[in-house]
Amino acid sequence: MKTIALYSIKGGVGKTASAVNLAYLSSVSEPPTLICDLDPQGASSFYFRIVPNKKYSSKKFLKGNKKIYDNIKGTDFDNLDLLPADFSYRNLDIELLEEKKPQKKLKNNIKELNTEYPFIFFDCPPNLTLLSESVFTASDVILVPLIPTTLSLRTFEQLLDFFKECKLDTAKIKGFFTMFERRKAMHREIVEEYSGKKRFLRQIIPYNSEVEKMGIYRAPLNAVRPNVPAAIAYQELWEELMNEIEHRPTK
Task: With CB under 8 A as the rule, give the number of residues binding another protein.
Answer: 19
The interface with another protein within residues 107-146 (CB under 8 A) comprises: 112-113, 115-116
Q: Would you call 164 helix, strand, or coil by DSSP?
A: helix
Q: Dihedral of CA 184/185/186/190: which sign?
A: positive
Crossing angle of helices 130-138 and 102-109, in 10° steps, is 50
Smallest distance from another protein to CB 24, Å: 15
* 204 contacts 195 by C-beta, under 8 angstroms: yes
Tell me, residue by residue from 211 to 230, as one string, x for binding to another protein by CB under 8 A and - for no binding.
-------x------------
Amino acid at 78: D
CB of 237 to another protein, least distance (A): 24
Sign of CA dihedral 39, 157, 200, 228: positive
CA gap 105, 182 in Å, rounded: 42
CA distances from 76 to 20, 92, 97, 134 (A): 13, 28, 36, 29
Judged by CB under 8 A, the residue of 11, 12, 74, 196 near another protein is 74
Is 72 a residue that touches another protein (CB under 8 A)? Answer: yes
In the set 22, 25, 35, 50, which binds another protein (CB under 8 A)? 50
DSSP reduced 3-state for 187 = helix
CB of 31 to another protein, least distance (A): 9
Of the candidate spans 62-70, 151-159, 182-190, 205-213, the one that interacts with another protein by CB under 8 A turns out to be: 62-70
By the rule CB under 8 A, 53 interacts with another protein: yes
Q: Is residue 61 within the footprint of another protein (CB under 8 A)?
A: no
> What is the C-alpha to C-alpha distance for residues 187 and 169, in angstroms, rounded to an integer?
28
158 binds another protein, rule: CB under 8 A: no
Q: Which is nearer to another protein, 47 or 200 (CB)?
A: 47
Can you give the binding site for another protein, defined by CB under 8 A? 48-51, 53, 65-66, 69, 71-74, 76, 81, 112-113, 115-116, 218
